[in-house]
Amino acid sequence: MNNEGVGAASVSAQSSQRMSAPQGRSALNYIFAADQLRGRDIIGIEQLTKEELLLVLQVALDLKQNKFDGTQTQFSKGQTLAMLFEKPSLRTRVTFEAGMTQLGGNAIYLEGQLGLRESVPDVAKNLDRWLDGIMARTFDHDTVLQLAANANIPVINGLSDREHPCQAFADFLTLQESKGKLDGLKLAFIGDGNNVVNSLMLFAAKIGMHFSIACPPGYEPVKDLWELTLEIAKGTGSKIVLTHDPVEAVKDADAVYTDTWVSMGQESETEKRVKDFNGFQVNAELMAKAKQDAIAMHCLPAHRGYEITDDILDGKQSVVFDQAENRLHAQKAVIALTL
């Protein structure tokens, strides 16, 4: 579906100007009236405005705080979401499937590489005739684009090699809850400039938050998205920094984030990557260089003893499992606003 030409209402992460609900009805009814993202594809943070990003966060927070409000079961009542998986999954599968159930809908799990048995456009055209939405977790970002181009129902990027927008929504929701605000915060990422980084840096730049990444030479974020992030930051006041020094990156950081050094599909590079990322571990020594109240973040699964140590992952500074929990609420917000 086409993402262009759709307006957005002005909201903030702290207080949104909600559309008024009918007298005596749940306050969550304003979500029914929010049409900024209705019928839209969620391909990446790249395509969304600041107002749209903050709207998703506000809805996710409201859904979380009102989890047992019966109104929620009406958002996707009678609707079905196709979940296409080319990669194994714990958090993405469980949170999308549980999210659809809690919103009153259903989810169908389909596993296997797309484009082998039949073309991606043909898959999209079939699902479009039967269902109400598609979530795809793929290797190649072009697969998500092909699904969106050939389906008239919303397509949600559950992860691709270019972006991981659903993870970013959960992460910024966690930051908002942990710090009570997003304005003025600095998020530091230590490790590979991968799909998670691409979504995080774009999100930070669009809302005016500061972002730094420390990675070994040759592991920088994809060039076009990095340049886009820098361009966006010029208009929002966001400070975006790329360095090869982890200590420089975490200086004055409110949150220190890391991810696996070896993503799925890169297993043959394990030995080289472990060597290249020596010195880029998030541990007590590095966390001590950030702000005293800095939080530690990881999108999971974690390789303990490699990119992060046990004492940090399981320690008082960790919000790692808060991030995992918030995948559910962020997914529900995306579903409620698009389907």
CB atoms within 10 A of CB 135: 29
164, 210, 298, 329: the catalytic one is 164
pLDDT digits (tens, 9 = 90+) for 98-126: 999 999 999 999 999 999 999 999 999 99
40, 210, 327, 329: the catalytic one is 327
Topology match between the domains 27-163+327-338 and 165-323: yes
- Active site includes 164? yes
DSSP letter assigned to residue 314: T
Break the chain into its structural domains and give their ranges: 27-163+327-338, 165-323
Average pLDDT over all residues of the chain: 92
Q: What percent of the chain has pLDDT over 70?
A: 92
pLDDT digits (tens, 9 = 90+) for 128-158: 999 999 999 999 999 999 999 999 999 999 9
254, 259, 273, 298: the catalytic one is 259
- Active site includes 298? no
* Lowest-confidence segment of 18-32, 43-57, 200-214, 319-333 by average pLDDT: 18-32
- Active site includes 299? yes
pLDDT band at 7 (very low <50, low <70, confident <90, very high): very low
pLDDT score for 89: 95
pLDDT higher than 80, residue 19: no
Separation of alpha carbons 198 and 184, rounded Å: 20
Contact 73, 26 (CB under 8 A): no
* Lowest-confidence segment of 1-5, 8-12, 32-36 by average pLDDT: 8-12
299, 317, 329, 331: the catalytic one is 299
- Active site includes 58? no
167, 281, 317, 323: the catalytic one is 167
Question: Can you give the pTM of this predicted structure?
Answer: 0.92
137, 141, 210, 298: the catalytic one is 137
pLDDT score for 27: 58
Strand segments, DSSP code E, in the chain are 80-85, 106-111, 133-137, 155-159, 186-190, 210-214, 240-243, 255-258, 295-298
- Active site includes 259? yes
Right CATH number for 165-323 from 3.40.50.1370, 3.40.50.300, 3.40.640.10, 2.130.10.10?
3.40.50.1370
- Active site includes 93? no
CB atoms within 10 A of CB 183: 11
Q: Is the peptide bond before 301 cis (omega within 30 degrees of 0)?
A: yes
The CATH number that domain 27-163+327-338 falls under is: 3.40.50.1370
Q: What's the token pair of residue 299?
A: 């999108």
Chain centroid offset of residue 331 CA: 9
Separation of alpha carbons 228 and 46, rounded Å: 9
According to DSSP, the β-strands at 210-214 and 255-258 are: unpaired
